[in-house]
Structure 1
């Protein structure tokens, strides 16, 4: 039955040949308009009772459309129901027989369109025949052949499939693999941090989400010139001028006069000054800039605000550093200064991104790597230092920074020992490593240190302090052989004898020291001897 949605009121209904309502225009000719109801009006409408025009669909004008229900097309038919054709041959007089015949015809499609010269028919010609034992044996033979051929290529196929899967996963990794390192850090997130995560989405309207920012445009010179010519020299309107003529703010002789300032000349002077500045920084022959990029960095201290300064100064400094980076991208101070500028202004993430870009452009710069390690947080800083060690395996400062990042004493010792394997000639590394050891281990390490750095007075003296009296004398004698021009070794030897109550050897050691130092061309003035005496050791000067 055809239904049409409409408002309350009189409806126009089409008649069907079956006596009921149906789809618009379905059977029995065009629909007939019914007679008007008495409620529709006293005056009879002229079109009532007339046949509907050709192509008329009731309710179409107000948007109503017809639809079909199950009662219109009748119930579903059973397989045992007879067909409509009363003259159908036996075996085809029920709906099930007709459907079975159509299915058989589809299975055995022997049409020319289903035939290929090479492969023959797409289907089997004997599919409708009986399936005998010979057919079963033939199918088993073909299946065995297929299985045998498949096993021959199985190993190669599996290897190829494995390589394709690995290649595909490398090119398109799963989201779970991409964020696996970040998911491990989720265990460190506290409950308060979870609760402080904002909700996804923005419920504000479009105008609030995309606010229109104010655009400030400089006032042209013609505006000031026009007002000066008309006797006005103010860029803003005085509130008192809006009170009317009776309250003029400048009565009588106090009325301002017409200015004689020519704004056009000011603009010309400004352009002339700009041309002079450009000519100073450009080459008169080829037009290339002759500004030294390092010269920009010398004025950074005066341009970068240390606290909340002027925004224009920050923008100028940022623009200046950007030009330096673009002019000479392999200049490490430019990247360091840019990162520190962003750090001062509070943009720590921007500073980190800039300094990491600097490590890519200047991988052999020790200062850039140290600055990157300073800006990064704990674990990330360790990764940065590890990457720096790969680029600069001989940098002492990077190894010291790596040891400072470690919180465990064992980890610090491990880092310093690894550093001493690569840089065994560094006195600073030896001193830092010895400070972390116990006295016995420090003595053993200093014995190795003086072998690697025989010209370091500090290492020799430190080893002598940890040795016994006899061993300390041997250590100081070796130190004098390696460094005959240093007075501190002689003074330490004299202090050693004095501490062990051997005062007779003190004067002899001092006399030998003066003789040896003069023989090696070392001059010790009075101030240096006074400095030695101020430390608590009395020296008898002999002429």
Structure 2
């Protein structure tokens, strides 16, 4: 059988036939179809069967399949329904849906915030626990990092180089072996006579000298042999020599000693300094842009200046100098370019540049000033200025700079010439007047007024000159003439400007001049009905600027216009009390009571001033005169009683009180009478007076309070209870009476009764913070903490802006929640002293000393009358401050003389402390205060 027949027998029947529909080669073995760029349509998946094998699809089934598919395209995404839509996706999104979504969103937000702090705290604890179990590498080596501070420089330099730990040769280095150099190598080196420096010819032509001439790659020269005849050994030696030169210049030798070029060393280091911190691309762009500007408009000076400064910033100072000198050639009439060139040039070159600039611009003041500035010797500076004044005799600046270099006599001569050249310069005239004697100074100022009739400073200087020479009568006249002359020359009189000048005169020591100015200008531009208010504001402004004489002059002028205004006298008296002397205060008060005899407070201030000075008879005489002017004044009677009782004249005080009860029987007079007897230990007399007083004034709550406290002090609890109950029948709105009655019941163990009394008090006096506060404290003292918390919540609902309640609420919270509670309290009552005091105590308890001191200062500044704040502040400074801070707080408290505060009143109103003053009460109250925890 032939070979051809065997092949035909093995041939398959499908060879050469087209593939059936849907056939994919290798599909049964897991292969997939693919497409090329020339194909159209997507590639098939492994389980994707061609649609050609099936009939046309059913339209209905196709629509159902299309509905069931979920299109995940971004264009199909909806904010509310997602990708596939929802059951209600076809319905419109109306207002009810929006409200429902808002409610659900609010609920989700509320549920998220409900345990947010607990969740965050738990997460923080988990993180800390995880960090303790698996600390960071940074934390593991933190102690070693701290120890690096103790490493010396020698130890640091001896740290070995870090090698590759994976390299066995670096991990276990072998000891270095030193093999002697064979003699043959030394002989060859000596015979070859190699040099480390290339000759000029070698550097010029770039070739190498060989036995056959110079060999240059690619060039054939006559007289050279064939390549085969060239001594390749010599070429190799020369190549090694070149390589050795280059390597020794840029790298270290084996021993670690760097080969340094001694000539180029400093230059190389200077070029390595980072003279410009910007991007080099930005520098190139800026340089290109400025070059374009220079070429487009070479007569534009800022372009040359900017180009020079760019080169200066980038460290190319010589290029900057070249550019700026080119700019001087292009713009010879620009003083800015010349000044920039003088700045960039060193030493003598700068002088040369300035000399060229002066030749180009002989009228430039700035260039002449620069020329004098460059000079180092004083004589040369004077010569430059005089040369400048020859060219520019009317320059005030040059005259001033020149005069500053001269001594007094030469300066006077130069100023005489200066005012001739610059007759409109006020500064030169005034400087000349200061250097002249009294007679010549008057002549100079008169000439100045003739030349400059519209300037006020010349007139003011003339007035100060007269005052300095004790010619006080002329000061007022000069100021009046000044105002008239300026008005005649159509100059507007600005009151604020003149008052500022008056303050400057006071600072210069010209008191009469400042007072004359104030008297002359204080009424300018002020309406009749605004005079009092405006003048008081001006006086306060002067006092704020420490211009006390100006303020005193304003008060004096206001009192001359309104002599019967008690408020102005009071303000002036308080000003003298704060900034003046005792003598000035007493003199003012003496004039005040002469004009306002019915003003009781003025009489009392005068008597107190005399009393504090130790002059008790003078204080008595003032009060006697006050009795004559105000025979039935309660304040004066009580002041006289206090004066006598403070000076141990108790019998005189009793007689005065007896006369007062006869001539001016008021409730306060009775109260002071009872208190005096109580303080002196005459309890029976006090009770008699109380019975009489309560009959005449049953609605004065303090009488009932004193009656109950006297009974309570004697141990008669039932009588004290009866006194408080009787007082509450007459005075149901007296809050201290309710508090005293409640505390009496609490002391006797009647907690329920005390609670009911406070509840009854709250019913009769709604929205009273002190009653709520006492109820909360009652429950806390009784151990009912939960009830106290509920009461505090109700109290804050009824009195949301009460500072005492918020202050108590802050310290009822656990320590972690106090800060948030204090933030809420400060938001509700921002400037309440009790909340500020609570915040101060909170910082104190957290040992934040600086912040606590800041908040204590803020508290006593807002309400200096709160004694508790001063006491806490003083105790704080005793524990955490020094002697200076303690003395400062003590002094400020004495000046403030606080009268209120729960603990302060508790100690100051104690009968045993009735004669103690503020400076003695402060340590007692501070000692009774507990340290906040």
Report the TM-score when normalising by structure 2: 0.27
Point out the structure with the larger helix share. Answer: 2
Report the TM-score when normalising by structure 1: 0.44
